């Protein structure tokens, strides 16, 4: 019930293409869904986050789509750039547990020039 | 600049030895967390602390111990009871424990067995 399932495990996209990473969860008590970006040898950094009262949130080239009924959310990276090559993690948390996050397994994104 | 400092960046442990990983934050955050990262497994929560002198076990606490004597500091000890300690360890912090606030991460400590 606490798991967050992430796919694909790895993704290769051409420069200028759209990168799509998907996550699914079981626990309907989750009410905060952040995405983190991690470069090799560094800690994850918050990229964008959404709450379940909205279906989409966009920040620059990054968009989260949220489907509450399907218990799924996804990250879309438009006009993908080689600098976007990193590992991306989705996560989820519940208000009642404070900021304790449950992470997906991660997606290694490679954007070819 | 405010942030989270983890040290050392690389650490080697001999068999039967305890080692301590340091985590310091100057963000004035209430909550602090320790995660373990293994390839293909995401981040798994080891311990977390919501206030000074209080901490709770996460999902994989066995073989680890922590203390929270100061708001700024949350050291993690990897004990000899942890049989597979080789991993990348990440410390994080966040504000306002009872609301969903983003976690800020340090740049990690990579622990290896000698």
> Each residue of A63-93: pLDDT tens digit?
999 999 999 999 999 999 999 999 999 999 8
Q: Are the Cβ atoms of B99 and A95 closer than 8 angstroms?
A: yes
The residue ranking higher by pLDDT, B2 or B49, is B49
Q: Which of B3, B4, B102 to substitute to test the interface with A, most A CBs within 10 Å? A: B102
Considering only CA atoms, which of B32, B37, B44 is closest in space to residue B91? B32
Does the pLDDT at position B98 exceed 80? no
B40 contacts on A by Cβ (under 8 Å): 9, 105-106
- What value does the mean pLDDT take over residues B95-109? 81
Among the partner-chain residues B4, B40, B92, the one whose CB lies closest to the CB of A105 is: B40
Which residues are paired to B5 by β-bridges? B24
Q: Is A37 on the interface with B (CB under 8 A)?
A: no
CA distance A28 to B41: 22
How far is it, in rounded angstroms, from Cα B10 to Cα B112?
A: 8
Both structure tokens of A7: 């796919």
Instruction: With beta carbons under 8 A apart, name residues in chain B contacting A98.
Output: 31, 50, 94, 97-100
What would the mean pLDDT of B63-70 be, rounded to a whole number?
97
pLDDT at residue A1 greater than cutoff 70? no
Q: Is A21:A111 a contact under the CB 8 Å cutoff?
A: no
Query: pLDDT value at position B13?
Result: 87
In this prediction, residues A46-67 reach a mean pLDDT of: 94
Best residue of A4, A99, A102 to probe chain B, by most B CBs closer than 10 Å: A99
**Residue A4 binned pLDDT confidence (cut-offs 50, 70, 90):** very high
User: What is the average pLDDT score of chain B?
Assistant: 91
CB A65 within 8 A of CB A22: no
- Closest CA–CA distance from residue A44 to any residue of chain B (Å): 6
């Amino acid at each position: 019930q606490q798991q967050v399932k992430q796919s694909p495990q790895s993704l290769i996209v051409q420069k200028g293409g759209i990168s799509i990473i998907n996550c699914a969860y079981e626990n309907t008590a989750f009410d905060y869904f952040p995405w983190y970006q991690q470069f090799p040898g560094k800690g994850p950094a918050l990229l964008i986050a959404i709450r379940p009262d909205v279906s989409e949130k966009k920040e620059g080239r990054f968009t989260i789509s949220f489907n509450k009924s399907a218990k799924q959310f996804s990250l879309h990276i438009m006009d993908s750039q080689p600098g976007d090559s990193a590992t991306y993690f989705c996560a989820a948390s519940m208000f009642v547990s404070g900021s304790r996050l449950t992470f997906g397994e991660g997606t290694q994104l490679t954007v070819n020039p | 600049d405010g942030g989270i400092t983890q040290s050392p960046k690389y650490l080697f442990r001999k068999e039967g030895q305890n080692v301590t990983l340091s985590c310091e934050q100057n963000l004035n955050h209430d909550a602090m967390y320790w995660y373990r990262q293994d390839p293909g497994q995401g981040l798994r929560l080891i311990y977390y602390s919501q206030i000074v002198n209080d901490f709770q076990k996460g999902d994989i606490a066995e073989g680890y111990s922590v203390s929270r004597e100061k708001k700024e500091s949350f050291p993690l000890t990897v004990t000899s009871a942890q049989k597979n300690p080789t991993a990348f360890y990440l410390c994080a912090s966040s504000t306002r424990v009872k609301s969903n606030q983003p976690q800020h991460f340090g740049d990690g400590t990579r622990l290896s067995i000698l």
